[in-house]
Amino acid sequence: MTFYRFRLILTTLLFVGVLLVFSAKIYAQEDVEELVVQGIYIPDEKRATSEISNLIDEVDFAQTGDSEVTGILQRVTGLSLVSGKYVYVRGLGGRYSYATLDGSLIPSPEPLRRVVPLDLFPTSLLGGVLVQKTYSPKFQGEFGGGLVELRLKAVPDEKFYSVGVSGGFNSETTGKDGLDFAGPDIEALGFPGKSRSIPDIIDSNATLSGFTPAQLEQAGEAIPNIWSVDLQNNYFDGGFNAAYGDRFDYSNSSLGFLAAIDYDSSRQNEFGSFATYEISAGELRPSTNISEEVCNNFIGGGSDCGLRRTEWQVNLNGIVSIGLEMDDSIIKASSFVSRKSVKRSQIDKGEFAADPGTLRTEVRNEYVENYLWFNQLSGEHFFESLKSGAFEKTQLNWRASYSEASREVPARKRYRYIYDDFDEVFRFPLRTDAALTSWNDLKDQIYEAGFDIIQPVMTGGITFDVKLGATYTDKSRKSGFIQYGFDNPPGANLAVRELIPESIFGTTNIGPGGFVLTEFFDPSDSFESGFENLQAYAGLDVGINDFVRLAVGGRYEDSEQITETFNRISGDPIVVTQKAEYLLPAATLTWEFYDNMQLRFAFSQTLSRPDLRETASAFFIDDRGQQTRGNPELEITEIDNYDVRWEWYFGPGEFVTFGGFYKEFTNPIEQTFQFIGNTPLRSWANALSAKVKGVEFEIEKALALSKSRDFYLKLNASYIDSEVNLDLTQATQQTDPNRALEGQSDYLGNIQFGFDTPDQIERFAILLNYTGDRILGVGRLGAPNEIEKPPISLDFNYARSFEIWDGLYEFSVKGQNLLNDKYKITQGGLIAEEYDLGVSFSIGIKTTF
């Protein structure tokens, strides 16, 4: 299926729509005073919207002090954070929740997921966030848990500029030794440098086919010879942000612009233990044991057994936005860039399942660069389209966007040493895969265009909005992976194998009779995929009377998804195509049955498509080193959603809500396992069914504790229960075919207590976040599930502003993880992974003129 005709039609409609707007201006005799003022939020948008939602604005950002949007989202009712970057809505994440930026889809830099890691977005560049939990036809149909709509900062109302700096300390990291490996100075800005690039001789012939011995030697010597891990004292964390905006007013128009940049650098030690378990002789026993105690079993093996990992994270983000207001129109162009780079060194020392009874050290060094570039041109127009007293001004919103995301992992290193009990020395093993260098590159691109029309109508005492719109999405993804090892020379010198890797793989040891470079990847390690979706919707938002409101509509989607990989053996292409057409209904009824109280009832049908690579039947290695194979027989998941919520708005900024939800899944996609020999192979299959149900409660209350400060209390709690029923013919290796969904916590809760001054000069908040236990990994062959136990987080944030030298200076201090809770994963009650996170403090100063 192709959509070139639709592209032409959509472009024409947008162009004609803009012409109609400007032609209407020529004949309209509107007074300047009737200019429509556009803002990020309207007062009580949470209450006024027809759907069940939560709203976050810049005041909330300031109160919590969270620097990344993920931090504040985990404080929203029913939301949790997984792996520090994935937001789960009502226990559903990944394939069941999605995010937009100013109404347009965001590409993902994740190699095996379409979910967007929201830690790419700093709060300093956002104007607000909408979390919508009930489906409305305006949004795309892949809606299970909910929608997170990020909103970039708006063009300012007046000229301003601001500059801020910050510094941070962590009790487990700052001033202590951490792991590091050699790299260029430009890493401090989040760039990998050219030293990690693929050598030209390898780039020209990645498979090394037809290379002469001399060329193989040249290629082997061209591999970046940087392997060793060094101990380095960890510096203080630091950050910088700056913004400048201005506005120019003319006789009948205004032009404004905003430019902002945000930089942050932080390090984190994660020193502890790691283990995997299996059922042996009817008992759960460790198969891999990376802990301090292991060294006691080996004389001369040292005392540094365990997990040691250090991450250095650098974020560099920027935004440029220009807005033009003319009478009843606003046109906005914005560009957003986010770079998140992580330099990670890890040493695992202990007993591994592959070498039972042997002490082994395994080292991994990698530099991961995530990049997101988002560009959008949008417009909002009000004009007289129908000359009738029943019709108010028509609202036309349109948008066109291009965005891309990439993930590069250049020159990733992985190597090991085995301890020789007899000689009491560590040696490099004679295995081709004992020292690997790999390059991984992924690029995601999205072209999207769409429009929304709202026509308010008043007739017969009834007011309603007619809503129409269409969207076209064209998404493509490319991923490449190459990896190399060294064939070992016959009778390799024992003394050489005891050296550091830089000496082992020095130029004198590479070549005929020595170490010879060999490729270590498959054609299936690279893939291409595409996704096109033609969408249109229609709806009515009807005020039946002064107390009852009904929003009803439907969305049509016609999509085609293509994934192309290659056969592992023959190299022949494998193409999987999935076409689908859906009509998705939705309805929400709001009943204001008492002053400032209302009930909402909602029903909708939505869907979830397989991820782009989950339908590819070729083998590949995922980002955790797990052998994986897709399933071309996967079907689209269909979801029925039911919601109800009671709301009471008992004062300005004060409310209490209580609600429940229930979701039924047909053909939900779940992880399964097969075995090839003793090697587990991960795949996916459609389960028979799944259910998710839960209740949510939240309250925000002003407290009259002081005349000079506005105290408040915010509480929310959620209980979520889920069950997935797997097809036993597809899940023969899983321990529990009837279990909760992965990543879903039963209990979520937040408490926030603090104050603001009426002039916003001073603010304080203390925040407690609780996230219940959740399944991180599915158990197999009788072993129980891996259970993640997220730390209980107690944080505080204080800020005070002073007028100095005709400027406003804000001084702030933050504390995080004040309870010093650990990160922990268990399996059958035994520790699978554990390390200290430490207590963090930061101070900052920001000036605004």
Sign of CA dihedral 729, 733, 738, 739: negative
Of 838, 840, 789, 830, nearest in space to 273 by CA = 830
Q: What is the pLDDT of residue 823?
A: 94
Name the pTM for this structure.
Answer: 0.88
Q: What are the Cα distances from residue 796, in Å, to 84, 124, 135, 283, 768?
A: 19, 18, 34, 44, 9
Q: What is the pLDDT of residue 522?
A: 74
The residue range of the domain holding 218 is: 155-846
Sign of CA dihedral 298, 303, 304, 305: positive
Asked if residue 505 lies in contact with residue 227, where contact means CB atoms within 8 angstroms, the answer is yes
In three-state secondary structure terms, 163 is strand
On whether residue 456 sits in a domain, the answer given is yes
Q: What is the pLDDT of residue 44?
A: 57
Q: Which residues pair with 552 in a beta bridge?
A: 540, 587
**What are the 10-residue block averages of pLDDT along the chain, 849 residues in total?**
38 34 34 32 57 83 82 86 81 82 86 74 86 92 89 85 95 96 93 92 92 95 96 95 92 91 96 92 89 90 92 95 92 94 96 89 95 94 79 91 94 95 91 92 93 91 91 92 89 86 94 91 79 96 91 96 74 83 96 92 94 71 65 90 95 92 92 68 85 95 92 95 81 75 90 91 94 86 89 94 87 96 94 96 92
Which CATH number is 793's domain given?
Answer: 2.40.170.20
Q: How many domains does the chain have?
A: 1
Reported as type and span, the H/E element at residue 721 is strand 710-725
Question: How many whole angstroms from its chain centre is CA 476?
Answer: 18
On whether residue 696 sits in a domain, the answer given is yes
| Whole-number Å distance between alpha carbons of 357 and 297 | 9
In three-state secondary structure terms, 293 is helix
On whether residue 34 sits in a domain, the answer given is no
On whether residue 221 sits in a domain, the answer given is yes
**Kind of pairing between the strands at 97-101 and 146-152:** parallel
On whether residue 724 sits in a domain, the answer given is yes
Q: What is the pLDDT of residue 490?
A: 76
On whether residue 50 sits in a domain, the answer given is no
Please give the structure tokens belonging to residue 131. Answer: 């979390």
Asked if residue 717 lies in contact with residue 703, where contact means CB atoms within 8 angstroms, the answer is no
Sign of CA dihedral 101, 103, 107, 113: positive
On whether residue 173 sits in a domain, the answer given is yes
Asked if residue 709 lies in contact with residue 756, where contact means CB atoms within 8 angstroms, the answer is yes
Reported as type and span, the H/E element at residue 531 is strand 527-543
Q: What is the pLDDT of residue 12?
A: 34
Q: What are the Cα distances from residue 711, in Å, to 133, 765, 766?
A: 29, 10, 12
Of 321, 456, 449, 328, nearest in space to 380 by CA = 328
| Whole-number Å distance between alpha carbons of 324 and 254 | 6
Q: What are the Cα distances from residue 579, in Å, to 243, 527, 634?
A: 46, 19, 12
In three-state secondary structure terms, 383 is strand
Could you write out the DSSP letters of every residue in 186-223?
GGGGT---GGGSPPHHHHT-TT-TT--HHHHHHHHHHS
Q: What is the CA radius of gyration of the chain?
A: 29
Q: What are the Cα distances from residue 567, in Å, to 439, 616, 629?
A: 21, 10, 11
Reported as type and span, the H/E element at residue 425 is strand 425-427
Of 736, 615, 740, nearest in space to 685 by CA = 615
705, with CB counted inside 10 A (0-12, 13-18, 19+), is: exposed
Q: What is the pLDDT of residue 7?
A: 40
| Whole-number Å distance between alpha carbons of 486 and 495 | 18
**Kind of pairing between the strands at 527-543 and 516-519:** unpaired
Sign of CA dihedral 616, 620, 625, 627: positive
Sign of CA dihedral 774, 775, 776, 782: positive
On whether residue 56 sits in a domain, the answer given is no
Asked if residue 736 lies in contact with residue 726, where contact means CB atoms within 8 angstroms, the answer is no
